[in-house]
Amino acid sequence: MLWGDHTGSLELRSDGGTTRLTARFPYGRETEIAAGRREVIAPRAFRTRIEAGDEIHLLSGHDYEKPLASRSAGTLTLTDSDDALTLEARIDGATTWARDFLSAHAAGLIRGLSPGFRVPSGGERIERRGADILRTIASAELFELSAVTRPAYSEAQIEARNWQPVGEVAERVVAHHLNRWRL
């Protein structure tokens, strides 16, 4: 059965017990963090740790006790461009929190993507706009990306797709063991 859902730019596809997730965090989009406090992340603000190949995790709800994928495990790939940070992750449903995430996403409860980062000295610019403050992040150390219920940046969304062979196709897949290894 082919199942698909699109609510922005996070996409999940399942093959066997592993689900492939793709997501996009757009740069240059201004958002309101709190009343009178706005923020924008400049293009390639996360480039330092990404280009260095440093460890970065995909988490459920910013919780390091609920990892979904990581660069060191070979299950998380990040691509940085002037427009957006995109990710591709392979999520194994063998853990309870991964199954919880996949179920919550299927129910429409988790649709957002949120970066976890630290801004080094000199990595931000603060400016006043009347009574409001705009923080522009030009450089930040990205440590994790999280699937969340309410992202600060509304355009940073996730999507899921689940592929399950049916009928004759399913029989062919089961009949030959090498057919189970689709990359």
| pTM attached to this predicted model | 0.77
Pairing between β-strand 141-148 and β-strand 57-60 as defined by DSSP bridges? parallel
Residue 110: name the closest of 76, 146, 164, 155 by CA: 146
CATH at 92: 3.20.16
The total of structural domains in the chain comes to 1
Per-residue pLDDT of the chain (183 residues; tens, 9 = 90+): 233 333 345 666 666 668 888 899 999 999 888 899 999 999 999 999 999 999 999 999 999 999 999 999 999 999 999 999 999 999 988 899 999 998 998 888 888 888 999 999 999 999 999 999 999 999 999 999 999 887 666 556 555 444 444 445 445 444 444 444 433
Q: Write out the residue range of the structural domain in which residue 13 sits.
A: 2-180
Residue spans of alpha helices (H) in 33-93? 47-52
**Residues recorded for the chain:** 183
